[in-house]
Structure 1
Amino acid sequence: MTPQSDVSDLSKLFSPQHIAFIGVSRRERTLGALALGFAKARPGLARLSVIHPELAEIQGVQCARSIADLDSAVDVAFISVPGAAVGSVIEDCAAHGVPYAVIGSSGYAETGSEGADRQAELVETARSHGLRLLGPNCNGLWNAIDGLSLGFNTSHEHALRPGGVGVVAQTGAVLGSFIAGVQRAGGGISYAVSTGNEADIDAAELFEFMVHDDRCRVIALLLDTITRPDVFERAARRAAEVGKPVLAVTFGKSPKGRHAAELHSARVAGGGRAFSAWLRSLGIVETSDLESAMFALALLDNGEPFDADLAVISTSGAGAALIADLAADAGITLPDFSPDTLAELDKLLTFTKPYNPLDLAGHGNDPQWLDQAFDAIFSDPAMHAVALMSTLLPPKARGIAPVVSAFAAAKVKHAAKSACAYAVGPLAEEHRADLIEAGVAIADSGHSLVGGLHTAGLVRTYAAARAGKNRTRPAEAAGERWLGETPAPGASKLVLHDAARSELTRLGIPFLEERSVTSGAEARKAWLTLGGSPVAMKIMDSNMPHKASSDGLVLGVAGEDEAAQVAEQLMSRAVAGDARVLMQTMAPIAVELFLGTVDDPQAGPVIAFGRGGSAVEESPDVAVEVAPVSPEEAADMISSVPVVVAALTGLARRSGRAYDALVDELSAVISTLSEVAANSRATVHSIDVNPLAYTESGQMAAIDVRVQLRPVIAE
């Protein structure tokens, strides 16, 4: 492991010299007995001991009455006693200098508040003695390089192929299936670990350890939530610096810990979308497709990331067409063979033409022909990778259709070229073994083939996008108070449209002509001041954030008497003491956009942009990125929302304004608001500008603005 003063050295946890099992009985199917049996088969570098107050041995492993009775220091204690007894076991381990405990026992924070209290007591006891905890409710870990399996799940029963894939998982059972899938696809495992309840050692710390460990060439994260975003970001930045690919398979991305969820920005931009934007900003490739991720990891473990230029060889014409269709859907290019390759293949082919994908047709039975053809394709500089699609093949012993053997040999000869395979139907284990030994990743479906290639290709794309960027996460207390407003201690405050207007105007965000009133008499005067033309009137009430759903919006008010009447009606519905009515001039609205920010508990400040209006939550067409974003990045956000691009294109045609001018104007506003979100996160939780509208003449205006301030913690 690369030395780093602020990075936890967990090497003894993954490479222990002595493991003590506590909570093992003679009953074969108990957690402790299973874990001991699996560890006996794969002990790694460790000596195994059992702590038992009565028995001399279990499963042929010597027992001691206590940790104190062992004749050498213990690096890891694997604890599987009933939950009520774990506390005393932790005290005993801590008192005797055990540095790590892996707790398989359950009944803690996952069960509710009482379990959480018991878990907190465990942590307090352990930390007071310098004992680190993995778990509780943890399925254990693997060190496949040293041959260690420490856990009770059925997946620990199977040996793993050593390799460069490190896996951190906030799941137990899925982890076992996942690493088995990576192995089946041709990848190898370095470390894999289930984090359990993360009472102490968490996913962020384990991720950072693997980033700094040279045994891990590529890292997979099976994630739900991150409790220490600062550590996670530090690890991700280090991974980007050293060029170590990171894939995240995400699940359960429901909103957590949101404040002021009544604002659109929190529901649209926070939670899952914010988490995805955060991962993307860190150069981490995200997917929710387990099968594609397994195959992508095997590809990455075998070599460089894929960059979308693929040659396909198929034992079937229909199969070639199938892969071509799948590749097109996934954005994978199948370029034409280069002139030299075309000329070589044209001389070799009898039954077909040299197209990419290439149908072998009747040539698959000739080993010499296969060697020549595959050598020509692997040598083609236009191709970054070569894929074999194989139909059912006869056993090797029959000596016919040696397609797999020839493909594996070509990969070995052209080691720098990425190669993969997809078998339609069962692939004989002897063929699978030949391909894996040659460094060929194997997909079990066409979907996982193109999905994995696409996922692996994003590694290169994200690395290029991150080049030169090293954003520092804004500190919790950074930035000056925005708007000059201070909520009461313990409460958040909704800053309404007119209170936020002056600050946003100063930042370059335009507004319509408008006035705020609190009575019918004031509404009469305001109607005349606004030019005596139809106005929109809306209630502004900090207890009614959504006016339309509260009957708080009236359009087309056409006279001073009507204005006075509507103002009185709206004020009669007011709840908050500071309620007032906003009167805005009406102009034909051509495009409604949404612009919002939220300080997400994991991702930090993020900015969202997209289609606006009342249905923004029901059918959100939005782009979300970590704040701040540059004007250029904001322009990319705009271009990523097709419905907005279409609307702006139409507006440019009707209004006579140039499309590029509209985009530049919008990009500046998005970038500016993103800077506010990043610099004011100490005080601002979320900002809604919905809609940010364009009139038919091409003029921008913020129609409705609300800002949710962060609650102040009472001293």
Structure 2
Amino acid sequence: MLAPRSIAILGASAQLSKINGRPLKFLLEKGYAGTIYPVNPKYPQIAGLTCYPNVEALPTIPDLAVVVVPANDVCPVIEALGRKGVRAAVVFSSGFGEMGAAGKEREAALLAMARANGVRICGPNCLGLINAFDKVYATFSQYADGDTAPGPVGFVTQSGAFGTAIAALARRRGLGLGYFVNTGNEMDVGFADIMSRVVDDPRIKVAAGYLEGIKDGPGLVELADHCRRIDKPLVLTKVGRLGAGVRAAASHTGSLAVEDDLFDAVARQYGIVRARNEEQMLDILEAFVYTAPPAGGRLGIVTQSGGAGVMMADRAEEVGLTVPRLSAQTEAELCKIVPGFGASANPVDVTGQFVAEPAILRNSVLTLLADPGIDIGIVWLQLMAAHVDLLVTLFTDLKKSSTKPFIVCWVAAPQEAVEGLHRAGIAVLRGAEPAVDAAAALVRHAAARRAWLAAKPDAVPIADTGSVAKRPAPRAGGPPWAGVVPTLQAVQWLAAAGVPMADVELAESEDGAVSAWQRFGGPVALKIESPAITHKTEAGGVRLNLKDEAAVRQAYREIIQSARKYDPQATLTGVMVQPMATGDIELVVGVKRDPTFGMMVMLGMGGILVEVLRDVVWRQAPFGVDEARRMLDELRMRAVFDGVRGRPPVDKHILAVLLSRVAYFADAMKEHLLELDLNPVLIGEKGVVAVDCVMVLMGQRHSAVV
């Protein structure tokens, strides 16, 4: 599909300006070296090429077919291609899944026909594809009307029109697209399928994608993992950041799961670089194409404007970079270079004096980058149309002389300056904040790759996960293991998987509650036990720190009364009795089955306030302790782990181990588990313990396919 040696155009037109004529026009104009077979019974010839009446008449089997026929004719064409032996097709035709119920039926029929005849399809309803290296133009996109010189970026987009706009912007910036592919409806071949082949081309250095939705979560994860293995950055812009994704759920975890948050988490976990919009995507691509990975996140800034330096320093702090103080030796050297009315501290302000004395800028940048506390630099300037040759030569020399990467931020740069710096292998960014954002993307990606390379096999001891996962299956005469799992059973499974769970007993009467209290030998908590009441506090179903028999009996009665008032139809199994647990910090750990990415594990701050604070992070299960530690570091309130207001710091390692064990449990239970809430999870000087849990298994109304 991507590198065909011969192409048939089904429905080709002699009018090369029409949609069904444009692919032939581009192939001829751009110099495609392979064989082209126009197919249309109306014409004996098109543009000097023999035109064949149908697929059967083709003299050989083409590698790729471009299908430009009405929707009702696509299925017969695909059948004919399959009989001929053609294995790949790009289908421009619309009128399929994007057209409502009837279109979806037509698309399902097309997929069945393609599968039955062994034809892989890009589309339908797509603009097609360009492989600029090999001059393959299976497209009618306007992007192909202009210069499409190949470059090191592979771009795959789910949107045709917006993807074309992004490609045009890339061209204007001088970023060559080696591949441009629009996947359309993704009926068969999807984004991840195409991109995984694009990045395997050694001529591609960086992959870029525009996504409107994720149809193949496992495929995207596999693609990201592949890009990480071959060391090619994957930069994605995904829209729908605030889209619907919240649903009524039995657990906090389920109600907090927003589609875009889960995508963000998977992106961080697997090294995907996410861009906010198309302009930021192109900024980041420029940085990756021309800039070596930095060794750390310490940013040095050289400007001709103090104001620009302050703006970049502010933005650097916002995106997680540091703008450190330079060493005394570096500052002393800069004082000898920078004019007295400039600034020799980081950010360094060389003023406009460098135009008269270019050595000021050159030596300032080299001195800054030589500081052992600096990992990457940004040089800011503006306009300078009269000094393009001087500055291009200066930056080219800097590139050769410095061992550390830097980005040039040249505001309103003349086009010849951009082209000259690109020839020298230097990124040129359009503004102060875009330059800092691009530097931050370089830093984060380099750090993530170093962590991945340094990671060791991170097996967490799981006592009994395998056999636990087999137990929930329905069995004749037994419980229907669907819906909310009884607490005692859930605690048993989790404890067997190595998750530290608080002791618990079920009391079916006041006397039973008193007996449990006596056995525990200290203050206890009582909680309602009912498959219909999962948010116990809301139902008035929790009483804490009960120290004597009278308090236990009264709490039992009050809990039952409150639960019946909260839900008169609920089945009340009894009351759970637990010894009081202590901890300095309340957390929530949970699992949600996501239709796109499968089992997702959540860590949140706040216990019952988690939905108010919304300080949560996610990861796809399973994962090890190192990844769990990174989850802790992403919480906004992570500073509390280090001790605040006189409280001692907590052992983050044991919390990371708990998270990893939950993740392995979730993965082992993926055929059964729908949701899991461990809330609260208490951590303090005595360790970590999950005090309460809600576990929900798949029922008949749920699909186990993820």
TM-score, L = length of structure 1? 0.82
Match of 2:490 among 493, 496, 500: 500
1:460-475 equivalences in 2 (<5 Å): 460-469=446-455
In structure 2, relative to structure 1, the CA distance for the partners of 1:675 and 1:628 (3 Å cut) is same
Q: Secondary structure at the match of 1:516?
A: strand
Q: Is the 8 A contact 1:297 1:456 kept in 2?
A: no
Amino acid across the alignment from 2:336:
D
- Give the stretch that moved more between structures: 519-528 or 173-182: 519-528
- Give the stretch that moved more between structures: 520-529 or 235-244: 520-529
Match of 2:661 among 649, 672, 685: 672
Q: Is the 8 A contact 1:265 1:598 kept in 2?
A: yes
What residue in structure 2 maps to residue 290 of structure 1?
A: 278
Tell me how far 1:334 sits from its aligned partner: 4.6
Q: Is the 8 A contact 1:185 1:295 kept in 2?
A: no
1:262 counterpart = 2:250: yes
1:65 counterpart = 2:53: yes
Please give the per-residue CA displacement for 1:335-390, whole angstroms capped at 9, x wherever unaligned.
Answer: 53895896487257576354444434243433764685478459837555443322
Match of 1:449 among 426, 435, 440: 435
What residue in structure 1 maps to residue 4 of structure 2?
A: 16
Q: Secondary structure at the match of 2:95?
A: coil
Amino acid across the alignment from 1:173:
A
1:181-260 equivalences in 2 (<5 Å): 181-229=169-217, 231-252=219-240
Query: In structure 2, what is the Cα distance between the partners aligned to 1:576 and 1:485?
Result: 23
1:620 counterpart = 2:607: no
In structure 2, relative to structure 1, the CA distance for the partners of 1:79 and 1:492 (3 Å cut) is farther
What residue in structure 2 maps to residue 440 of structure 1?
A: 426
Q: Is the 8 A contact 2:486 2:531 kept in 1?
A: yes
Q: Secondary structure at the match of 2:591?
A: strand
Q: Structure 1 unaligned runs (5+)?
A: 1-12
Amino acid across the alignment from 2:448:
Y
What residue in structure 2 maps to residue 563 of structure 1?
A: 556
Match of 2:351 among 357, 361, 378: 361
Tell me how far 1:77 sits from its aligned partner: 1.9
Match of 1:51 among 39, 46, 49: 39
In structure 2, relative to structure 1, the CA distance for the partners of 1:518 and 1:32 (3 Å cut) is farther
1:645-660 equivalences in 2 (<5 Å): 645-646=639-640, 649-650=643-644, 653-654=646-647, 658-660=648-650
1:708 counterpart = 2:691: no
Tell me how far 1:455 sits from its aligned partner: 0.9
In structure 2, relative to structure 1, the CA distance for the partners of 1:505 and 1:350 (3 Å cut) is closer
Q: Secondary structure at the match of 2:425?
A: coil
Amino acid across the alignment from 1:294:
L
1:346 counterpart = 2:336: yes
In structure 2, relative to structure 1, the CA distance for the partners of 1:341 and 1:414 (3 Å cut) is farther
Tell me how far 1:554 sits from its aligned partner: 6.4
Amino acid across the alignment from 2:605:
R
Q: Secondary structure at the match of 2:237?
A: strand
Match of 1:322 among 308, 311, 316: 311
In structure 2, relative to structure 1, the CA distance for the partners of 1:207 and 1:258 (3 Å cut) is farther
In structure 2, relative to structure 1, the CA distance for the partners of 1:516 and 1:134 (3 Å cut) is same
What residue in structure 1 maps to residue 534 of structure 2?
A: 545
Identity %: 25
Amino acid across the alignment from 1:685:
L
In structure 2, relative to structure 1, the CA distance for the partners of 1:598 and 1:437 (3 Å cut) is same
Q: Secondary structure at the match of 1:542?
A: coil
What residue in structure 2 maps to residue 8 of structure 1?
A: none
What residue in structure 2 maps to residue 7 of structure 1?
A: none
Tell me how far 1:166 sits from its aligned partner: 1.5
Q: Is the 8 A contact 1:15 1:44 kept in 2?
A: no
Tell me how far 1:29 sits from its aligned partner: 7.0
Match of 1:391 among 379, 382, 400: 382
What residue in structure 2 maps to residue 595 of structure 1?
A: 589
1:423-434 equivalences in 2 (<5 Å): 423-424=410-411, 426-434=412-420
What residue in structure 2 maps to residue 606 of structure 1?
A: 600
What residue in structure 2 maps to residue 107 of structure 1?
A: 95
1:406 counterpart = 2:397: no
In structure 2, relative to structure 1, the CA distance for the partners of 1:289 and 1:465 (3 Å cut) is farther
In structure 2, relative to structure 1, the CA distance for the partners of 1:458 and 1:375 (3 Å cut) is closer
In structure 2, relative to structure 1, the CA distance for the partners of 1:362 and 1:508 (3 Å cut) is closer
Q: Is the 8 A contact 1:103 1:136 kept in 2?
A: yes
In structure 2, relative to structure 1, the CA distance for the partners of 1:68 and 1:473 (3 Å cut) is farther
Query: In structure 2, what is the Cα distance between the partners aligned to 1:165 and 1:53?
Result: 39
Tell me how far 1:102 sits from its aligned partner: 0.5
Amino acid across the alignment from 1:620:
R
Q: Is the 8 A contact 1:608 1:623 kept in 2?
A: yes
Amino acid across the alignment from 1:671:
S
Q: Is the 8 A contact 2:543 2:555 kept in 1?
A: no
Query: In structure 2, what is the Cα distance between the partners aligned to 1:93 and 1:483?
Result: 46
Q: Is the 8 A contact 1:690 1:702 kept in 2?
A: yes
Query: In structure 2, what is the Cα distance between the partners aligned to 1:269 and 1:209?
Result: 32
Tell me how far 1:594 sits from its aligned partner: 0.5
Q: Is the 8 A contact 1:262 1:545 kept in 2?
A: yes
What residue in structure 2 maps to residue 42 of structure 1?
A: 30
Amino acid across the alignment from 1:674:
A
Please give the per-residue CA displacement for 1:600-639, whole angstroms capped at 9, x wherever unaligned.
Answer: 4443433221213334235421232333444454344334
Match of 2:118 among 118, 130, 145: 130
Q: Structure 2 unaligned runs (5+)?
A: none
Query: In structure 1, what is the Cα distance between the partners aligned to 2:401 and 2:55?
Result: 54
Q: Secondary structure at the match of 1:296?
A: helix
Query: In structure 2, what is the Cα distance between the partners aligned to 1:260 and 1:362?
Result: 60
Query: In structure 2, what is the Cα distance between the partners aligned to 1:220 and 1:380?
Result: 33
Query: In structure 1, what is the Cα distance between the partners aligned to 2:376 and 2:541?
Result: 60
Amino acid across the alignment from 2:632:
I
Query: In structure 2, what is the Cα distance between the partners aligned to 1:187 and 1:473?
Result: 43
In structure 2, relative to structure 1, the CA distance for the partners of 1:593 and 1:355 (3 Å cut) is closer
In structure 2, relative to structure 1, the CA distance for the partners of 1:127 and 1:675 (3 Å cut) is closer
- Give the stretch that moved more between structures: 188-197 or 335-344: 335-344
In structure 2, relative to structure 1, the CA distance for the partners of 1:703 and 1:109 (3 Å cut) is same
What residue in structure 2 maps to residue 479 of structure 1?
A: 466
1:134-153 equivalences in 2 (<5 Å): 134-153=122-141
Query: In structure 2, what is the Cα distance between the partners aligned to 1:350 and 1:568?
Result: 80
- Give the stretch that moved more between structures: 335-344 or 320-329: 335-344
1:640 counterpart = 2:631: no
Tell me how far 1:190 sits from its aligned partner: 1.8
What residue in structure 1 maps to residue 20 of structure 2?
A: 32
Please give the per-residue CA displacement for 1:138-197, whole angstroms capped at 9, x wherever unaligned.
Answer: 221121223443323333323234222222333323322333344444433222312222
RMSD: 4.1
In structure 2, relative to structure 1, the CA distance for the partners of 1:676 and 1:81 (3 Å cut) is same
Q: Is the 8 A contact 1:493 1:710 kept in 2?
A: yes
In structure 2, relative to structure 1, the CA distance for the partners of 1:357 and 1:568 (3 Å cut) is closer
Tell me how far 1:432 sits from its aligned partner: 2.1
Amino acid across the alignment from 1:436:
H
What residue in structure 1 maps to residue 152 of structure 2?
A: 164
In structure 2, relative to structure 1, the CA distance for the partners of 1:510 and 1:463 (3 Å cut) is closer
Aligned residues: 687
Q: Is the 8 A contact 2:362 2:394 kept in 1?
A: no
Match of 1:92 among 77, 80, 87: 80
Amino acid across the alignment from 1:542:
P
- Give the stretch that moved more between structures: 297-306 or 30-39: 30-39
Tell me how far 1:449 sits from its aligned partner: 1.1
Tell me how far 1:103 sits from its aligned partner: 0.9
Q: Is the 8 A contact 1:367 1:406 kept in 2?
A: no
In structure 2, relative to structure 1, the CA distance for the partners of 1:158 and 1:414 (3 Å cut) is farther
- Give the stretch that moved more between structures: 180-189 or 684-693: 180-189
